[in-house]
Structure 1
């Protein structure tokens, strides 16, 4: 009887050992499911110059590649490989992402897609949307603009031609004016616009400089005006400017935006071609010092 009891005890221990061994092997063989996650899917509202950050976490038995793409207006850009920047802890990998919002990023939908490829070539992705506020400078580019009011000492001084003009500003720092066919002329070549924020300049939040070439006899003369912006929204800006030659100082202009639509620089194709062919009005001859507002 004692011998039978010992035998049964040994058999139980053996069975328990086999069960534990099988469980251990099963645990060791259980594959780690590859997964990728991000600590936020949308950033807080950011301004140009501010930083978008996020932490990406990957769980995988091995990572063959990790890269991200900048996505602008739903178009994915070139891959940036950051595999070497992953921080590994067992089967967990982390990556701390940062991006400084660039000028004119606010004119587009902006995001980033993160992509991991594990050792079995399985691909997983996650994404971050960068929420950017539209800057005053970008507002100039996003819309066409018109002068809808011009006042001096309480008098309405908005000329008919100024009221007709449509301004269009480009990201490369150039600008055009649709003068309409009625007021088309070749006296000026519209060249560059310069924008500078002035947070410490009393009620002036920014300065807009418009630079153009003026035909004077057989010569071309640099001409520019500085507009002091005192309030600005996407739909309307208030700005003040001077015309010293006429003794007019502190002219108040209301600049109103409108969706971009039909637009013909200088009013007609013929006038645009004529201006382009007047060598003394070439914008390439503008004094470079004018491109910087002190």
Structure 2
């Protein structure tokens, strides 16, 4: 099986993606929203400024926390800053470079997918910063082993979810059924076990701290700590599911529209001007061999 099999379907096979209900939902949703279809450029600019500012604000909060200026906390004082200001600056530069590259050879019918990919790249940036934020403040409390356990769990969860969705998309594109190998079976069982019995471990930890704690304050703090860590995991897992089940299929469909532009244009029954947009058509299509010659019957 090719590593990039999902990206190697021919035009006829790629059409099978149009039957996916989630892709259809994303298509209708993005095409009707000004932030994606480009009709609300002022709103997009304002939202972008606010969101970029928020990412840099997270780094500022971490720096204030490292300096001990956030007030009293039940958590141990962090001694390693995993989110210094150069991190959001670097991630912003990476995001900006990708954005500029995506704008090249961009035409009307794929512009909505480009904007969605740009939004997705920002969300990846945001979730990465959020994890570095939590890691900075919780590493001392969790210890290295505890933090490593959390990220290993998230890594295994990501693998299972993306592997499962990728195989589902492959079946959709090419037909047939894929079987799990021994490693997949092992990881699948491990993830199922953690999801099924992980809450028992959390309850045992809370009861242990409740029974053997010296003050009621510690008991409350432990409950709060477990709740925050649970929220951390839930947010990450929700993001992983969104990436695998919403963004991946939708962006894959957009990739095939970019790969087979003329085929999809004809399949959707649009003229080249409608498909590419006036600006792109006049610059790259009109007067070239790519321009579709109308049959006038003579």
TM-score for both structures, normalised by structure 2: 0.18
Greater Rg over alpha carbons, structure: 1
* Greater share of residues in helix: 2
